[in-house]
Structure 1
Amino acid sequence: MTQNVVERGVASPSSHISGLTPSADEEWETPQPLQAATEKIANEVRWRDLPNKDQLFILALCRLSEPLSNVCLLPYIFFLVRSVLPKSDDNTSSDDSAARISEYSGLLVAAFPLAQCVISLPWGRLSDKHGRRFSIIGGLLVSVIANIGFGLSKTFEALLFWRILAGLANGNVSIMRTVTAEVVRERKYQTKAFLLLPLVFNSGMVLSLALGGCLAEPVVNLPVLFGPEGIFNWSRNPEGVQWTLEYPYALPALLNAFLLGTSLILAVLGLKETLLGKEENVDCGLQAGTAVRRLAIRIWNRGSASHKYTMMRDSDEVALLNDSGPSHEKTEPSVTLAKPTKVPFRGIWTRKVTSALVSFGLLPLHNSAFMHIFPVYLSSPPADNSEATFFAFSGGLGLRSATIGLWLSAFGIGGILLQLFIYPRLQKRIGTRGVFRIALFLFPVTYVAAPYLSLLAGDHGARWVFLGFVVCAQIMARTMAIPSTVILLTEAAPAKTVLGTVHGAGNMLASLARAIGPAVGGYVFALGVEEGVVGLVWWLYLVGVAVCALVWSYLTDGRS
């Protein structure tokens, strides 16, 4: 009998460490006082308590690859596409021009996630067999090259090629989510750990939108640096810095390449392998990283010797290098994990996984379309709506790329704060699914209201207040929905050994949705502009998909 009790005591913590909900035959009862104490400790987990913070930090920097590569062009995409498309006849109206640009920009936006869709599942399967480190580093390297090529392109075909290559490089996003689950194994830390990558994604979007909006056309947007009298205009060209005149949209992409190059170096030197059975694998990059850390510690100790600090011994130095978690973890008893069971490929796709995957795919189907349509809509020239009806009106706001980038970035900061301070409390109070449904209710309301900005022509306060409402509501909904779908998908996986495949499938489906969303949304937007109903894409497409996602969350409630 003692043996049975011990076996049950070992089996249950392992299921909690894996981050997955235990099956019925693995459940065990915990004494009520102990359970209450455990829940209290879990509720008091702080960001600084997360284990393996060095690995999470490097992983967070690597996660910047997708928003920097994908989102940076949105504030200036209208002007970028207009600059590379062949000039149309002078008789073409501004509405026809906006519709044409919308169609081409939709293709450009859709190319990135479509490439992700094609490569995501192979990336996931490859990482499950051969490890996570190589795929993340390889993806970063190709992302750096793709950003440089995109910035220096002058034709639509070249832009499309580099967008596709960047999408192929970023098909490993699902692997980063898998690494998070493998780095943070204890369930009590996982709510905050799974918030980290969406938090970095939102931060990357804020940074990327601001950089894209302000650095595009630097002669116009940053005349102090690149204008006729600019600091960097060493040749004193009367029109501004020559290379920025030839490549007016290169600067955001080149800065992206520099930032991702920094992440690449840190990943080569410090990102460890987390695939079960290969955790101890060390290559020349990790050896170089260890040497750099030892050198840094010795230099630091020499500098602190003047303050009469004791020089560390070699044994202390090695211990410090091997210590990757909070001090309180040392007192926790180790748990011996059972040998992981292999799940056949067909056995992965349970009803619970399938339901979570559909929710995971429906979100970007409308969210990505919004991210493409909204900047194009804001950039489109205003129209005369003096004879407009409640549904029939047209025109945009005519804002410049810098204004669009700063607006979206400013409210993106609000999304980051929401993710840091509000989401964990909401998730603890009403659960992951409850937070997800709040977001699903917010999306349709936002999409219904957005096109009425066209009726608020002119530079007056009401337009900016209404614009702030639309942007804030959408970002708030997105901020709550993204981490919720990741957590629900992770919990749906039948075993930890197939997390890479499950997240690879999720990323493939989400990437396909991010390709379809902008393409279909761009087409419907162009159709609405031609027919004089700019709200057509908002009311017909975006609201329709958002309502389907809301209904699906209730239909599958009993399954998951």
Structure 2
Amino acid sequence: MIRDFKMTDELHIGYYASLITSAFAMAQFISGIPWGSLSDRIGRKPVILIGLASTSIGVLLFGLSKSFLWALSTKIFSGLFNGNISVLKSMIAELTQNHSAEKRTRAFSLLQVTFGLGSIVGAALGGYLSEPVRKYPALFGHLGYITDFLIDYPYFLPCFLATCISSVCWLLVFFLSKETLYLKKKMDPEQQPLLPALVNPDPPTGIKDILTPQVIAMSLIYAIVAFQMLYFDELLPTWSATPKEAGGLGFQSGEIGTILSFAGSVMLFVQVFVLHRLTALFGLLHLFQLSLVSSALVFFAQGLCRLLYRIPDFHHEETKMWVWFGLVCCLTIKSLSQTIAVTTAVILLNNSVARSNTLGFINGFSQCCNAAMRTLSPAVAGFIWSSAIACYWIPLEIRAYISWGVLGCIGCMTFLYGTQLNPLHFNKPHNNHMNN
């Protein structure tokens, strides 16, 4: 799309594309807390309906982009008026507040699975349905005004289909979804508290009563984990595509696509079949800490895969076989660790909330921290990689490893910070410590 705007040369297309992505994340950073706080007052369902409606409108308008400014504006609009991520986390926390840690983990895992599947489906829609007249002339080349419209707006069709999907979701939420906000539920007479003054204390008087030390700590760790994931995801394809003599792996685009697909498949498998079982085995907090230390170790190991080129094959020639072996091992552990870290961080954050009437605000706050890191991380990864590779006075193998070493150090610091979390604030049964 950026190329079609004819506003820049080929070398700067990635820069402008990243601006659009960053604008959406920055808009979510601005709007996360207001939407979460609003859901604490009017309920989760109305905010979700507003978010889905804005998504439908924003995606449709994005498909009508004829300029960079229009595309940027629609992304900002979508980010500002879509607070669904934090509100959905609040809904799941409320739906599972009386369940075991294993069942809560499974519920939050399914939320992450839907995000993963949505990314796969969305990427497929964009890839296969953009520029339909050029790609499928037999199907779209003789439709009169429709053909002319699709030529003028070559990216409208995938956006229109995405809008239809979002609209169907809006109808499903409107007719089938139930409000989960505890304040709006009508309790049965037998469930009314005998001591309402104790169960319903005065609402928090200030921001310090809401953003407790454990909430702030967990929100920061969650944001740093997000930073690590995007840093890795930004660095991996760049490092893989860079020629071997320049510090990379020298992989082709198809090979890189295979790597990324494998990592995505492992993440989905872990979410569906593994995570809830590991939670029952280790407990939430211990599992989270294990995921942090394993993430740090795999970040350090990832950059060493390049050295596996030195292991010859049976004919004493250079081969990618051992490099592939190293990548598969590292990506398997990375996908396992980071998937566990993200999901358990969300659950631990919700476990640390002492008052249910602040749950939306706190999830909005954590989402703001997450969005800030998602905005910052790709730029930091690119800057460190470019700066390190350009330091020709440093030996090549060290230059090629600096970016991974920095990520590993960040992972170690995150783990050390995570070891300071007090289990009393995160592992006790959710329904016993969350008050209205």
Q: Pick the TM interval, shorter chain.
A: 0.7 to 0.9
- In 2, distance between residues paired with 1:530 and 1:462? 27
The structural deviation recorded for 1:547 is: 2.0
Partner of 1:232 in structure 2?
139
1:299-378 superposed matches below 5 A = 335-337=191-193, 338=196, 339-341=199-201, 342-345=203-206, 346-375=208-237
State the partner residue of 2:176: 270
- CA gap 1:228/1:273 in 2 versus in 1, 3 angstroms: closer
User: What's 2:24 paired with?
Assistant: 112
User: 8 Å contact 1:272–1:279 — kept in the other structure?
Assistant: no
Q: In the alignment, residue 549 of structure 1 is paired with which amino acid?
A: T
- 1:101-180 maps to which residues of 2 (within 5 A)? 101-180=13-92
Give how far 1:435 is off: 1.2
- Please state if 1:469 is matched with 2:337: no
- What secondary structure does 1:513 align onto? helix
Matched residue, 1:537? 403
Contact 1:411–1:475 (8 Å) recurs in 2: yes
Output the amino acid matched with 1:515: T
Cα displacement (A) at 1:419: 2.2
Is the 8 Å Cα contact of residues 212 and 252 (structure 1) preserved in structure 2?
Answer: no
- Distance in 1 separating the partners of 2:117 and 2:229: 16
Letter of the 1:354 partner, please give it. I
Q: What's 1:520 paired with?
A: 380
Question: Residue deviations 1:523-546, cap 9 Å, x none?
Answer: 334434555745543332x32322
Cα gap change, 1:527 to 1:227, in 2 (>3 Å): same
* 1:199 partnered with 2:110: yes
Query: For 1:214 and 1:399, how far apart are their aligned partners in 2?
Result: 20
Corresponding position of 2:284: 432
1:260 corresponds to which of 159, 163, 166:
166
| Alignment partners' CA distance in 2, 1:408 and 1:253 | 24
CA RMSD of aligned residues (A): 3.6
For 1:187, the aligned partner's letter is H
Distance 1:181 1:394, change over 3 A: closer
Q: Distance in 2 between matches of 1:461 and 1:211?
A: 32
* Per-residue deviation, residues 104-155 of structure 1 (Å, max 9, x unmatched): 4443332222211111111122111222111110011111122223334344
Contact 1:137 1:268 in 2 (8 A): yes
Give the length in aligned residue pairs.
401
For the 8 Å contact 2:50–2:81, the answer to whether it is kept is: yes
Shift of 1:101: 4.8
Letter in 1 for 2:25: P
After TM superposition, the structure 1 = structure 2 runs for residues 7-46 of structure 1, keeping only pairs within 5 Å, are none
What displacement does 1:436 show? 0.9
Q: Which residue of 2 aligns with 1:548?
A: 413
TM-score (norm 2): 0.78
Match of 1:488 among 337, 342, 348: 348
Q: Deviations over 1:179-222 (max 9, x none)?
A: 2222333133x5423432443323432442354157426589xx
Change (3 A) 1:207 1:134: closer
For 2:150 and 2:327, the matched residues in 1 are separated by: 31
Number of the residue aligned with 2:312: none
Rg larger for: 1
The equivalent of 1:216 in structure 2 is 127
Unaligned runs of 5+ in 1: 1-79, 90-96, 281-332
What is aligned with 1:399? Answer: 253
Q: Is the 8 A contact 1:177 1:503 kept in 2?
A: yes
Matched residues in 2 for 1:242 and 1:231: separation? 14
For residues 441-489 of structure 1, the C-alpha deviation after alignment (integer angstroms, 9 at most, x for no partner) is 2323333344566788999555544443343333212221122111211
Q: Is the Cα contact below 8 Å between 1:394 and 1:534 reproduced in 2?
A: yes
Matched AA of 1:269? F
- Equivalent residue for 1:506, pick from 366, 375, 389: 366
| Residue 296 of structure 1: aligned partner | none
Q: Deviation at 1:267?
A: 1.0
The answer as to whether partners of 2:91 and 2:180 remain within 8 angstroms in 1 is yes
- The answer as to whether partners of 1:356 and 1:489 remain within 8 angstroms in 2 is yes
Q: 1-side partners of 2:391 and 2:161: how far apart?
A: 40
CA distance in 1, matches of 2:205, 2:2: 46
Structure 2 stretches of 5 or more lacking a match? 310-317, 393-398, 426-436
The CA deviation at 1:384 is 5.3
Give the distance between the partners of 1:474 and 1:252, measured in 2 at CA.
32
Tell me the TM-score normalised to structure 1 length: 0.62
More helix by share: 2
Equivalent position amino acid for 2:106 in 1: L
CA distance in 1, matches of 2:111, 2:177: 17
Q: CA offset at residue 504 of structure 1?
A: 1.8
**Local SS of the residue matching 1:259:** helix
